[in-house]
Amino acid sequence: MAQTRMNRLREAATQKLEADVFQRVYDYLKVARRHGIKEAEVKGHLEKLGAKPSDCFEVDQLLYFEEQLQTTAAAVKH
């Protein structure tokens, strides 16, 4: 079920942003969230990547679900 949700989010974000912009936004947000970059800086960088920050919500959700899935998988292994 989680994988289906993540696939839908990825598809929705890719349609909204186009594939090349999606990948740049995905890669950037993944790093930004890990390093705790402030929201104002994130928004500015997303605009430089050619994306409206409001169009990146699905990407942010996708990253959140991926992280949750990894955390759950790691907990199950221990």
Q: Where are the domains of the chain?
A: 2-69
Three-point CA angle 23, 24, 30, nearest 5°:
85
Specify the pLDDT at position 75: 84
Dihedral sign of CA atoms 67, 53, 17, 1 in order:
positive
pLDDT tens digits, residue range 16-44?
999 999 999 999 999 999 999 999 999 99
CA separation for the pair 38, 42 (Å, rounded): 6
Specify the pLDDT at position 74: 83
CA separation for the pair 22, 63 (Å, rounded): 12
Does 1 have pLDDT greater than 80? no
